[in-house]
Amino acid sequence: MRVLVTGGAGFIGSHIVTALRDRGHDPVVLDALLPAAHPGTPPLPDAEFVRADVRDAGAVRAALRGVDAVCHQAAMVGLGKDFVDAPDYVGCNDLGTAVLLAEMAAAGVGALVLAGSMVVYGEGRYTCGRHGTVRPGPRRTEDLTAGRFEPLCPDCGAELVPGLVGEDAPTDPRNVYATTKLAQEHLAASWARCVEGRAVSLRYHNVYGPGMPRDTPYAGVASFFRSALARGEAPRVYEDGAQRRDFVHVADVAAANAVALEAVAAGQAGALVAYNTGSGEPHTVGEMAAELASAHGGPAPVVTGEFRLGDVRHITADSARLREELGWRPVVGFAEGMTEFARAGQRESAAAIG
């Protein structure tokens, strides 16, 4: 199968290209190598390469010739620094997706796997002893400043128990990046209905692993911590470190993409099917920092009490649907993956050079 991988020179995309080649497929990489993600030319995947922006309709049209399916990874990622980033996020993520889907419709390419994100849920699933499953609103600045990090029951103010989010949970994006990721899913669903196509959105959890970018305002928390350790500094853990996340290894995410691509190409998906894509083993951010620091040889993490508006407290999701319907299984355990990541190389970032 010939697969166009947008953003295929990036962290996750390059691992997907490798996974596809290992399974006997023919990947084609389309990547703009934008300076915000690539300050210099990165090691390019072992595949046909097209340097172009996914918003360039002519370049996308040419890259789609002979393609059977598309794996759409190209995006601006992370929470960002301020709302002034909003036009860049919308342009890269939503306009880029719209251009890609329009060209796929014109070319008759009817199979898509989208890099989705668990951020579309907002806060995770919570249970109140009196009111059952509840959905707390955004946390207030005054509470965060006072060190009150846990969301409370919106009905009675009681403490809540966090749980796993299923794909049928309501979406509630809490920042610009999250909003663009949900818009990508809506665009993909509309495309699939219009052209009778097949699409899967893999809602990634906190992806980490070899080749992750170095310290940058748009990187994930695992990158922040690994970059600090590389500088000989202690990882700085926000809030109290008890935020729950699901850290999933990039090799497992790449394998999920390969499996999903084979499913959509074979007609085993509908207009749009969303799959949570995580390890299934929630850990706190503090636990991750401690594991990473220990494997690296220190220094130990420092819990700062600082916070970022737009962050959610707990978000871990149930990935059983992906396992049951597509047969995917993560194989890299938490301790094993963090030990590897602590010693692995990282990509250069624009922030590191600037």
Q: How is 225-287 classified by DSSP, letter by letter? A: HHHHHHTT---EE-TTS--EE-EEEHHHHHHHHHHHHHHHHTT---S-EEEEE--S--EEHHH
- DSSP bridge pairs for 30: 6, 50
- Dihedral of CA atoms 67, 69, 74, 75 in degrees, nearest 10, equals 150
Distance, CA of 77 to CA of 221 (rounded, Å): 12
| 218 catalytically annotated | no
Could you give the C-alpha distances from 276 to 200, 205, 324, in angstroms and in order? 11, 8, 12
Please tell me what DSSP assigns to residue 96: H
Which residues, at least 6 apart from 49, have a Cβ–Cβ distance to it below 8 Å?
8, 9, 28, 29, 31
Say if residues 17 and 31 touch (Cβ distance below 8 Å). Answer: no
Angstrom distance (rounded) from CA 213 to CA 227:
9
According to DSSP, residue 337 is labeled H
Interacting residues of 205 by C-beta distance below 8 A, sequence separation 6+: 118, 245, 246, 247, 248, 276, 277, 278, 279, 315, 316, 317
**CB-based contacts of 341, cutoff 8 Å, min separation 6:** 208, 209, 210, 212, 222, 226, 292, 295
Taking residue 81's Cβ as centre, other Cβ atoms within 10 Å add up to 10
Catalytic hit among 177, 204, 208, 218: 177
Of 88, 86, 115, nearest to 100 by C-alpha is 115
Which residues carry out catalysis? 177
